[in-house]
A = this chain, B = another copy of it.
Amino acid sequence: MANVTSMKSNAPDISRDSLLMLAREAREAAKSLALTSGETRTQAIYAIANEVTGRVSEILESNIKDMSAAQESGLSEAKLDRLSLDEKRLEGFVSALKEIAVLPDPLRVLASWERPNGLQIERMATPLGVIGMIYESRPGVTLDAACLCIKSGNGAILRGGSESFHSNRALHRCVVAGLEHAGLPRAAIALVPTRERRSVSEMLAGLDGCIDVIVPRGGRSLVELVWDKARVPVFGHLEGVCHVYVDKSARLDMACEIVVNSKLRRTGICGAAETLLVDSACAQEYVSALASTLREHGCEIRGDNRARQIYPDIKAATGEDWSKEYLDKIITLGVVDGVRGAIEHIAAYGSGHTESIVSEDADAVAQFFRNVDSAILLHNASTQFADGGELGMGAEIGIATGKFHARGPVGAEQLVGWKYLVRGSGQLRP
């Protein structure tokens, strides 16, 4: 489809040379951006927010061009929805930018201590350099990514989906204007002005060392391509096969609400639950209640044998089902023997992204939190909270399931990653 639309468009293609020049300029600009004060970087983000507010009609006109081309080319409804903009969505973008603006400056002293010999030591945060952002046709990502990079003193090379070409250009004009308004180098946040796939492979090769890390955002095929071909580090995740485990101690009403929200609030996001695990000790009652609630909400269920013995009127899950990211109104349902069974199932089929335990038993929760090695673990809360903004970290540029961080002396302190432990009391994401 990208080709179809690009043939329709009069969008300039870009030569490898001009792509490299753009990357080198971004690298140089990022170096000076790294030396600016947190106040200046914050001002730039407010200025970008103002630009968006002041150019609503210009942005929506560009979006209409993209939408009509996308409709002609027969883009799926889901993708059209992600592509489309209206005043309300733009307002949402603006408030998201303001959330980023008010975050504390990431470029600060992270720790400091003194040695017996009088040496005083600080661990100081520094930018990574230039972030290569490769994402689908979702214009809001252009603003989020740009402002998260500005906030953290990093440059960026943005390569959005072809269908969002005009919308991204309009939003990027806001970014450039905001940078200049704050006296920051406009080249620091570059938009790849092309719809050709080739620019992606050039970015994955690191553009001559100008890209320090790649962040992919989009469908599985895109992310797989990136993991497979990237010759620079990648911040991202291949898929979110997220689990909800309902323990025998769980309150059934809470369990039903959390399962429905985890699966169905939005089925297309990586934090959507794909598998429901029920404790065999409460399966007789809970499986039927949970399954019929999901059914009432129009969700297809694929169960294992133990689940189907209790609730026969559901499809049998195949081997692949248990590790599949449906991103749809489909869920696998399995019966496991207590929290240990859940831990083993998740270790076997999970993707290390996000899992939730519904339980009133502190020991079961502690065991789950200790033994499941996923990036985000929740207790009595929806997996759909798997989102930087929802965790209070400001907007996110992506969710990484990697583990690595180390600079300077790699001692025991540097040989650890982390995971987020989220304790709730039945919160649902509105």
Cβ of A158 within 8 Å of any chain B Cβ, yes or no, is no
The contact string, 1 if C-beta is below 8 Å from chain B, for chain A 400-430, is 1111111111111111111111111101000
A416 in complex: contacting residue of B106, B388, B412, CB < 8 Å: B106
Chain A residues close to B by CB (< 8 Å): 34-35, 100, 103, 106-107, 110, 113, 115, 117-129, 131, 148-149, 151-154, 212-213, 215, 233, 235, 369-371, 373, 375-376, 381, 385-388, 390-425, 427
**A419-B126 contact given A397-B410, A405-B406, CB 8 Å threshold:** yes
Q: Is the CB of A395 within 8 A of B411?
A: yes
Q: Is the CB of B129 within 8 A of A403?
A: yes
Interface contacts beyond A119-B424, A400-B406, A405-B405: sample of 8 additional A-B pairs, CB < 8 Å, sorted by A: A121-B421, A126-B419, A128-B404, A128-B415, A235-B410, A397-B415, A399-B410, A403-B407
What are the 8 closest A-B residue pairs judged by CB atoms, nearest first?
A: A405-B405, A388-B409, A393-B411, A152-B415, A396-B409, A125-B416, A388-B411, A375-B408
Among A369, A391, A395, A407, the one with the most B-chain Cβ atoms within 10 Å of its Cβ is: A407
Taken together as a complex, chains A and B put the C-alpha atoms of A415 and B396 apart, in Å, by 10
Taken together as a complex, chains A and B put the C-alpha atoms of A422 and B109 apart, in Å, by 12
A35 in complex: contacting residue of B106, B213, B371, CB < 8 Å: B371
Least CB distance from A163 to B in Å reads 25
Taken together as a complex, chains A and B put the C-alpha atoms of A122 and B393 apart, in Å, by 12
Query: Can you list 25 A-B pairs with a CB-CB distance of less than 8 A?
Result: A113-B392, A119-B385, A119-B391, A119-B422, A119-B424, A120-B422, A121-B391, A121-B392, A123-B418, A123-B420, A124-B418, A125-B417, A128-B403, A128-B417, A131-B415, A375-B407, A375-B408, A376-B409, A386-B409, A393-B411, A400-B410, A402-B406, A403-B407, A405-B405, A405-B407
A106 in complex: contacting residue of B396, B408, B412, CB < 8 Å: B412
Taken together as a complex, chains A and B put the C-alpha atoms of A123 and B424 apart, in Å, by 15
Q: Is the CB of B391 within 8 A of A409?
A: yes
Give chain B residues whose Cβ lies under 8 Å from the Cβ of A128.
403-404, 415-417
A412 in complex: contacting residue of B100, B120, B376, B412, CB < 8 Å: B100
Taken together as a complex, chains A and B put the C-alpha atoms of A400 and B321 apart, in Å, by 41
Taken together as a complex, chains A and B put the C-alpha atoms of A371 and B35 apart, in Å, by 7
A116, closest chain B residue (CB): B392
Taken together as a complex, chains A and B put the C-alpha atoms of A424 and B120 apart, in Å, by 7
Q: Is the CB of A425 within 8 A of B118?
A: yes
A381 in complex: contacting residue of B119, B152, B414, CB < 8 Å: B119
Give chain B residues whose Cβ lies under 8 Å from the Cβ of A417.
125-128, 405, 407
